[in-house]
Amino acid sequence: MIQRQGYRYRLKTTPALGRALAQYAGACRFVWNKVLCLNEGRYLAGVPRLTYYEAAWLLTQWRHSEEYGWLATVSIHALQHCLRDLERAYTNCFAGRTAPPRFRKKFLSDSFRFPTDFQVDGHRLKLPKIGWMRFWKSREIAGTIKNVTMRRDGPHWTVAFQTEREVDTPVHPSTSAIGIDLGIATFAAVSDGTLYPPLNAYRRLQGKLATAQQRASTKVKFSKNWQKCQTVIRRIHATIARCRKDFLHKLSTTISKNHAVIVVEDLQIRNMSQSAQGTVEEPGRNVAQKAGLNKAILDQG
């Protein structure tokens, strides 16, 4: 069977490298938002949306124009792959798998991808128009590298390699089957009697986050001190996300390696965590208590 696997590492960035990566992410964000805005205008006018090839032709015109000529400083492959991601988002939306694509914001999901024209040499990576950079190679990369994705993770940048290789069809060593009941006081209750306590990553750092947000509220917006406070806030959010992801990956790995069949209840988290505020005509009850319950549900990940 063909196995596709991702390997993610943290980059060893410098101020100059950080600015170059931010420039690439900003260019891809601009192209995404520009084409998305054009498609929304065409939808309101009753005109079919731009296809990938039409958007790619527009991208070429922008790179040679005087107004958007700064896009030429970024590799064309990263911008074209951004358009492919937008086309895939539309396809998934029309198929009913996801919600419509939304506009991208700065510092939120800043990323870009290279399908070709990259080189990997040990713990070094070379990207077009950026050059060589180093990363912490905590484990070996197995398989053929198909693409490289750069992503901002709080104050840091990470690189992810998607690989492809052919392996034997795996056979699970266990024959047991279990059921899992998810909750808040007990994160997971397994049918064999095992109870896993919750991590509550957000609750543990809620005090630090509140203090940082209070300090940011007293600063002039977009000033240097405000930007420093935003950096601290983003660092805390990144820590919460990493703790939650580490907890979920370790727990899911432990359960999946010891049981062949796992049955989990199909919870509608979006419906469970809806606000109880209500409307002006029909105000909700116990709004504060429901808000705390929603926060606890979402904190479980």
Look at residue 249 in the predicted model and tell me its pLDDT: 95
Look at residue 196 in the predicted model and tell me its pLDDT: 96
Look at residue 279 in the predicted model and tell me its pLDDT: 83
Residues 49 and 97 in one domain: yes
Q: Tell me, yes or no, whether 256 lies in a domain.
A: yes
User: Would you state the structure tokens that stand for residue 168, as one six-digit string?
Assistant: 């034997």
Look at residue 261 in the predicted model and tell me its pLDDT: 95
Q: What is the pTM of this model?
A: 0.82
Residues constituting the chain: 301
Per-residue pLDDT reduced to its tens digit, 276-292: 888 888 888 889 999 99
Residues 19 and 159 in one domain: yes
The position carrying tokens 């912490």 is 136
Q: Tell me, yes or no, whether 172 lies in a domain.
A: no
Residues 197 and 301 in one domain: no
Residue range(s) defining the domain that contains residue 279: 269-301
Look at residue 148 in the predicted model and tell me its pLDDT: 96
Residues 237 and 275 in one domain: no
Residues 19 and 108 in one domain: yes
- Strands of 119-121's sheet, edge to edge? 111-114, 144-153, 156-166, 2-12, 131-135, 124-127, 119-121
Domains: count for the chain: 3
Residues 15 and 162 in one domain: yes
- Give start and end residues of each alpha helix (H) in the chain: 15-44, 52-63, 76-94, 201-217, 224-258, 269-272, 287-299
CA dist., res. 292 & res. 206, Å (int): 13
Q: For residue 177, what are the contacts with CB-CB under 8 A and spacing of at least 6?
A: 259, 260, 261, 262, 263
Per-residue pLDDT reduced to its tens digit, 107-123: 787 999 999 889 999 99
Provide the terminal-to-terminal Cα distance of the chain, rounded to the nearest Å: 31
Q: Tell me, yes or no, whether 241 lies in a domain.
A: yes
Residues 132 and 203 in one domain: no
Residues 192 and 261 in one domain: yes
Residues 83 and 212 in one domain: no
Look at residue 207 in the predicted model and tell me its pLDDT: 96
Residues 230 and 295 in one domain: no
Specify whether the CB–CB gap between 11 and 124 falls below 8 A. no
Residues 148 and 61 in one domain: yes
Specify whether the CB–CB gap between 25 and 33 falls below 8 A. no
Q: Tell me, yes or no, whether 237 lies in a domain.
A: yes
- Residues lower than pLDDT 70 in the chain: none
CA dist., res. 263 & res. 266, Å (int): 9
At 147, give phi and psi (nearest 5°): -155, 165
User: Would you state the structure tokens that stand for residue 103, as one six-digit string?
Assistant: 């506009």
